[in-house]
């Protein structure tokens, strides 16, 4: 493990354990991708899938990010789940409960329709397991218009915080509400497309999002 | 406007309008900060506040990110709200409803206890308006342990998508559920700290999160 992914400052909140990393990655679906062009950092949000220590990304073949990443530049992929706001009696001890993974590595372009289809399936299943088998599969020209990347996590670290506030002893007497406001991504009621064929059943997997 | 923030590929989904940018930034509280160290991109999640075209960040004075950013390096700040999963009848036309801002600029360290306090108040009010006036204010040694940064958005672009799926005409006949699964950050029931003084009222502003 090198300096860039060593867990610093608050080691009790960090981990480089693979099972911890994978559990956080599998609990979310949105990644923020960092890359550098001419010294300028870019951070772009995108969906992802995971299989082992590989993350899969996709996008338009015309996208600036895809073209940069496929060239093999250094990439940072960050996934963050906010679990709650931690309200202390003092401004200073306010905090956030969260789980995050910061992963470093490089990406390669997946070539060949079969391999691309398999990687797209991983992304789809990561988001909504069961959906892929129901929908119309990509046509060759759709695959051609899509770049699919495999990002290898060469180094990664997880950070997390949980539990309530930790106030200075003398502040516990203050008449200030303290505790945790839990926060989570929640799905609402599905909104059917206006051209949905009457009688089409609502898929069960929608009720499992977010997992 | 330069190449780095020009809205590309799908101009109907992009904007450089200040009111649009500010509305997205004010609807969220978590930013992903991109910066470069020796050619390696880092993407780190953190809370933020906004006032005009300035974003305010804070962290431990010992934090690697704070020390990098205060040196004036190029920074990218990205804020992303996911609003829904867009389920089409074909794998290819699946999409995500979202609002995001990608902002480029540099940060400077705020010096002086009064100015630091004002910036911390902006961050706090951005998250939970009303909280700051109730809690114990930072002590000088707490301010000293905290770095507060002002990030000036030199260029920024918003991207967004809304609405239902757009399928190929022949796919509308497929017996596949299509529509939008709305997704949002929601607050749960507040969890009082175990040492909360009995009778302390629950602040009204908790019910307004996320705004």
Interval B58-90: pLDDT, tens: 999 999 999 999 999 999 999 999 999 999 999
**Closest CA in chain A for residue B180:** A191
Read off the pLDDT band of B208 (50, 70, 90). Answer: confident
B150 — pLDDT class (breaks 50, 70, 90): very high
pLDDT single digits (tens) A95-125 = 999 999 999 999 999 999 999 999 999 999 9
- pLDDT of residue B35 exceeding 50, the answer is yes
- Whole-number pLDDT of residue B97: 95
- Architecture of the domain whose range is A3-174+184-208: Roll (2.30)
Report yes or no: A26 and A101 within 8 Å, Cβ to Cβ: no
Establish whether the linkage from the previous residue to B5 is cis, with ω within 30° of 0: no
Instruction: Give CA separation, A22 vs A102, A126, A160, B47, B139, in Å.
Output: 12, 12, 14, 24, 40
Inform me whether the pLDDT recorded for A12 exceeds 70: no
pLDDT band at residue A209, thresholds of 50, 70 and 90?
A: confident
* Across B116-120, average pLDDT: 98
pLDDT of residue B42: 98
Which residue from B80, B104, B197 is facing A175, i.e. has the nearest CB?
Answer: B197
pLDDT, tens digit (0-9, with 9 covering 90-100), for A54-80: 999 999 999 999 999 999 999 999 999
Tens of pLDDT, residues A139-150: 999 999 999 999
Domain residue extents for chain B? 3-187
Interface test with B, best of A3, A43, A59, A169 (most B CBs within 10 A): A43
Average pLDDT across chain B, whole number? 93
B91 with A132: Cβ contact below 8 A? yes
From the list B181, B169, B131, B37, the residue with the least C-alpha distance to A85 is B131
pLDDT tens digit string along A145-164? 999 999 999 999 999 999 99
Interchain proximity B36–A39, CB inside 8 Å: yes
Chain A CB contacts of B138 below 8 Å: 90-92
d(CA B143, CA B153): 25
CA angle A66–B16–B158, rounded 5-degree value: 50
Least confident of A175-184, B4-13, B47-56: B4-13
What is the per-residue pLDDT for B210?
84
CB contact under 8 A, B183 and A186: yes
Query: Residue B129: which pLDDT band, with cuts at 50, 70 and 90?
Result: very high
Largest CA distance in chain A: 68
pLDDT value of residue B4: 64
Is residue B1 very low, low, confident or very high in pLDDT (cuts 50, 70, 90)?
A: very low
**CATH classification for the domain delimited by B3-187, as one of 2.30.110.10, 3.40.50.970, 3.10.20.30, 3.40.190.290:** 2.30.110.10
């Amino acid at each position: 493990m090198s300096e860039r992914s060593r867990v610093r400052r608050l080691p009790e909140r960090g981990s480089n354990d693979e099972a911890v990393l994978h559990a956080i990655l599998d609990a979310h679906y949105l990644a923020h991708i960092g890359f550098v062009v001419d010294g300028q950092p870019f951070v772009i949000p995108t969906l992802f899938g995971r299989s082992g220590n590989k993350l899969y990304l996709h996008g338009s073949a015309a996208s600036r990010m895809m073209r940069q990443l496929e060239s093999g530049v250094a990439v940072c992929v960050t996934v963050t789940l906010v679990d709650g706001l931690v309200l202390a009696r003092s401004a200073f001890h306010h905090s956030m409960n969260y789980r995050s993974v910061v992963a470093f590595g490089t990406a390669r372009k997946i070539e060949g329709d079969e391999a691309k289809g398999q990687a797209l399936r991983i992304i789809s299943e990561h988001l909504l397991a069961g959906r892929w088998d129901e929908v119309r599969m990509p046509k060759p020209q759709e695959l051609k218009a899509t770049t699919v990347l495999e990002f290898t996590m060469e180094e990664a670290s997880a950070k997390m915080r949980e539990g309530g506030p930790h106030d200075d002893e003398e502040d516990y007497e203050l008449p200030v509400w303290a505790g945790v406001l839990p926060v989570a991504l929640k799905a609402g009621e599905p909104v059917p497309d206006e051209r949905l064929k009457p009688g089409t059943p609502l898929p069960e997997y929608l009720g499992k999002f977010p997992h």
